[in-house]
Homo-oligomer: A and B are copies of this chain.
Amino acid sequence: MKLIVNIHCLGGFREVGRNGVLVESSKNVLLDYGLKVENAGKPKHPNREVDALFVAHGHLDHLGLAPAIYRQYKCPVYVTGPTLDLSNLLLRDSLKIAKLKGMPRHYSATDIVNLHKGEKRIHYGDEIKVGRKVKVDVWDAGHMPGSCMFVVKTRGKKILYTSDFKIKSTRLVNGARFDAKNIDVVLMETTYSSRNHPPRKKTEKELFQDVKNTIDKGGIALLPSFAIRAPELLMVLNDFGADFPVYLDGMAKSATDIFLRHPKFLRKPKALKAATEKVIPLFSQEERNNALKEPCAIVTTGGCMEGGPIIHYIKKLYSDSNSSLIMTGFQIPGTAGRYLVDTNRFVHDNMDLKLKMRMSQYDMSAHAGRDELIKFVKKINPKKVLCMHGEYCKKFATELNSRFELDAMAPKNGDVIKI
């Protein structure tokens, strides 16, 4: 009897969010188990023993339900240092938000504490054994500090799970580095299967000039940011020679601290350290209001302007035509950030403000663009590609089939692929 491997597509297939893949053989390896952030949606349940959970990086759509998995299975949970620290930060925050918004909570604060008992540190280049016969290679995904790709090796097959990745280096992290040989199956994210990103260096230069111009005319440059993006923005400002005060606010502070604690996972740890040494963190409304008295740059969460200190700053600055709102995150349709881009009005809770600030947007994505995805498949040259984590999984699979000699497909949540 030939032994097969079952790939259970639990979540993140033909959608973005709540990633979950179970590789079933002599041992069952779960790759990510995340949450659909906007509605607390879960992946399908593994419905069988889980012998190990590997978390690709510190984002809720990849680790949001790790506490529930550990509570049920008490299995080891493999994470890099940055992912471990971020998980603590994000899981607590997620619980708080779920409570606030009346969304379902799938675990308790105790479950978060317990999770840490199961967490085991991994590093790029590691080969982790699950039982005697299943091995998992850990590679750098280039998505953010501590982000991993995993290769599950079992029953003579090599299954590469990319999770979120980026080939090109950014100021913050090196691009993905991985051993690409003899891969049978790739489970690949396809977030940007339909779009490319502009050249990063040009974007950074324009962004800095935008901040500088604002400050030169006496305004405040307000940079709403996802927590994880903030350190990169600080580096851009410092590397280009910021000669003005730079403030940091919100959860962006903790994320920056976490990355500084893990210099091995950064491309230029000294540059981040240098950037943050000049940065002034803000904690109270009084400090915030003081900061606004002089031209400066403020990097603050949240990136989609749905919460965080950014709300306070917008309230203070919205009518100041000398100040600028400089956005770097993808503005998700349905969010306050996107509504603002479309209408020039900031609408949040019961507040409706007509913006007089100048507004601009820069693409600083941490995902591979369309051409990178295609090059990646060409380089790996696998037998089979399972497209996931995207809006066009099926179409991109069709395109890969027509471009290359391989079997690309776009399974649905709940499908089981036998290899």
Contacts and interface: CB of A to CB of B under 8 A. Distances in A.
Given A351-B398, A399-B352, A370 B343 contact: yes
A286 interface: no
A398 B334 contact: no
A314 interface: no
- Interface bin, chain A: 20 to 34
A195 B343 CA distance: 7
A392 interface: yes
Interface in A109-167: none
Contact of A194 (B194, B342, B391, B399): B342
Interface string A202-237: 000000000000000000000000000000000000
A352 B395 CA distance: 8
A352 B398 contact: yes
Contact of A334 (B342, B352, B391, B403): B391
A372 to B, nearest CB: 14
Given A352-B402, A401-B350, A194 B395 contact: no
Given A345-B399, A350-B401, 8 more contacts: A194-B342, A194-B343, A334-B392, A347-B398, A347-B399, A349-B398, A352-B399, A352-B403
Interface of A: 194-195, 333-334, 336, 338-339, 342-343, 345, 347-352, 370, 391-392, 395-396, 398-399, 401-403
29 contacts: A194-B338, A194-B339, A194-B342, A194-B343, A195-B342, A195-B343, A333-B391, A334-B391, A334-B392, A336-B395, A339-B392, A339-B395, A343-B370, A343-B399, A345-B399, A347-B392, A347-B395, A347-B398, A347-B399, A348-B398, A349-B398, A350-B398, A350-B401, A351-B398, A351-B402, A352-B398, A352-B401, A352-B402, A352-B403
